[in-house]
Chain A
Amino acid sequence: MSEQQRYSYENDCKPDENRNKGSSRWSQCRKRGADGSLRKAEEDLGRDQRCSRRPESFTTPESDGPVSRVKNWGDEVEAEEMRSDVRRDMHRYRRRILAVDVPQRDRKLSSGSSDSRDSRDSKDSPGKGDFETDETVLVRRQKQINYGKNTLAYDRYIKEVPKAMREQGVHPKTPNKFKKYSRRSWDQQIKLWRVKLHAWDPPAGDLQQIEEIDLGEIMDFELDVECSADPDSQCASANAASLSLTEDSLTGTPKKMMKMEDAEMS
């Protein structure tokens, strides 16, 4: 992998081709006096500062537009991980659909992340190579999927109903992020999927139910989520709407808290 050419940090330090022209900061610093003496202390300090001075924002091909320098490493690495997960999924998916000549109904492969078997969906199976490849879109969709999977309901669902036993229409099926859909269509599929998953929510009256705050719904679409008849889940969504938590405090917390309490209860 060779990312090095694209890093704009290097642009700040202006290495290689400008070096000999003498116009870069680096070559100026390294220029020796006629007597070969060392550069003076101020120049050293200057160079040191130049090395650490960086633009306020920068763009790499991997980021979604300009990335503010203020971003913290924790967030940056999370974003990196999302992108690389999505890229990995894409490679697997591409291999899978290109390899399929005949739909295989009884394939037991669980290669993890593309979430549905296109080989079976004869009516909307993508033409070979014709699927969503825009990383921004894929990352956004994956985040929405993650919100749904990061719930007790999903956990209970997958324990209760193995993939092989799932019936189309009856059991919730994770939307396939690689299929081409409009934004509205995709958002709607996610909503419906989440609603269906609520059927596996832990029994009403649970403390955990109220703590299942889900900002995914706020972040990515309007607040007119159709809730199931379960009053507790409606309560949870309403609470989510009125809370102004940052995404950061949300990430991972519900799942972790739930798991701990789940462990305590069992």
Chain B
Amino acid sequence: MEKMENLSKEDYKIQSFDLETQKLLKTALKDPGSVDLEKVSSVIVDQSLKDQIFSREAGRICYTIVQAEAKQSNGSVFRRNLLNRLQQEFKAREETRKRSTQEWVCLVSFICNIFDYLKVNNMPMMALVPPVYDCLFRLAQSDALKNEEEVDCLVLQLHRIGDQLEKMNAPLMDELFNLLRDGFLLQEDLSSMGRLLLLEILEFRAGGWTLSDTAQKYYYSEVTD
């Protein structure tokens, strides 16, 4: 199983953009008032739907641009455009899922990453709580659980933001985990990796959103026979 990478502070993972867009993003970070922030948000959302790595890390660059704009002009044009565009994509999520599982999991990763990074006065954005839960519940449906790609996405998000989500709405988290327990126990068409991922996340949450040392060893250490 993959451990989550530790990234350096300045690493916004924009290598997958073409050079001109990279330049645009770098300018947006330093001098947001000088660029078309609607375009910037659009470019970021587009890429996050295509690029798996970026979708998991885009929150960071978005946060920096939001802060830069607030500091420079007290504005929130970028954030507003970003969120509204994200909302459009969210509304179309079921079609996206039908069309491409890859795009769907990228969308979920991106929404969750934005939830993680874009705080309002150091608090998570309440407006995103229902949509995030919505996505996770969708991933916990049986037609999704049988796809390893979707289970992987689900457990990644829960590792990253599960504790925050639970604080925002505990009963919903309980309900989600009931589904996961049921899936683990009853669903026959789960892959063995899928089952492993589910078991790990069940233990993770049961341990207060952390793994015990022994569980850590079990799931993550290399097996040397």
Chain A residues in contact with chain B, CB under 8 A? 1-5, 7, 9-10, 13, 15-16, 26, 30, 32, 36, 38-39, 41, 44, 47-48, 51-52, 54, 60, 62, 72-78, 80-81, 84-85, 88, 150, 251-252, 255-256, 259-260, 263
A77 to B118, CA, bound (A): 10
Chain B residues in contact with chain A, CB under 8 A? 33-34, 72-77, 79-81, 83-84, 86-87, 120-121, 123, 125-130, 133-134, 137-138, 141-143, 166-172, 174-175, 178-179, 182, 186-188
Give chain A nearest CB distance to B224 CB in angstroms: 38
Most buried by B among A10, A26, A39, A62: A10
| 11 residue pairs A–B, Cβ–Cβ below 8 Å | A2-B170, A3-B169, A7-B129, A9-B169, A13-B172, A15-B174, A16-B175, A32-B186, A44-B143, A48-B137, A256-B77
Chain B residues closer than 8 Å to A74, beta-carbon distance:
79-81, 83-84, 87
For B187, give its contact among A10, A38, A52 (CB under 8 Å): A38
Do the beta carbons of B188 and A16 come within 8 Å of each other? no
9 closest cross-chain pairs (CB), A and B: A74-B80, A76-B127, A252-B75, A4-B169, A73-B83, A15-B171, A15-B175, A84-B121, A9-B130
Chain B residues closer than 8 Å to A7, beta-carbon distance:
129-130, 168-169, 172
Chain A residues closer than 8 Å to B172, beta-carbon distance:
4, 7, 9-10, 13, 15
Do the beta carbons of B120 and A256 come within 8 Å of each other? no
Name the prevailing secondary structure of the B interface residues.
helix
Do the beta carbons of A78 and B80 come within 8 Å of each other? yes
Chain B residues closer than 8 Å to A36, beta-carbon distance:
186
Given A38-B187, A73-B127: A3 and B168 within 8 A (CB)?
yes
Report the nearest B residue to A38, measured CB to CB.
Answer: B186
A2-B170, A3-B126 known; 20 new pairs, CB 8 Å cut-off, are A3-B168, A7-B172, A10-B171, A10-B172, A16-B171, A26-B178, A38-B188, A44-B142, A47-B141, A72-B83, A77-B79, A77-B83, A77-B120, A77-B127, A80-B120, A80-B127, A81-B120, A252-B73, A252-B74, A255-B73
For B171, give its contact among A4, A81, A150, A256 (CB under 8 Å): A4
Do the beta carbons of A252 and B77 come within 8 Å of each other? yes
For A260, give its contact among B33, B121, B179 (CB under 8 Å): B33
Give chain B nearest CB distance to A109 CB in angstroms: 20
Given A9-B133, A30-B178, A81-B120: A252 and B76 within 8 A (CB)?
yes
Given A4-B172, A38-B187: A255 and B74 within 8 A (CB)?
yes
For B134, give its contact among A2, A10, A52, A78 (CB under 8 Å): A52
Do the beta carbons of A72 and B87 come within 8 Å of each other? yes
Chain B residues closer than 8 Å to A38, beta-carbon distance:
142, 186-188
A185 to B120, CA, bound (A): 32
Report the nearest B residue to A259, measured CB to CB.
Answer: B73
Chain B residues closer than 8 Å to A3, beta-carbon distance:
126, 168-169
For A85, give its contact among B87, B121, B175 (CB under 8 Å): B121
Report the nearest A residue to B31, measured CB to CB.
Answer: A263
Given A73-B84, A77-B83: A84 and B123 within 8 A (CB)?
yes
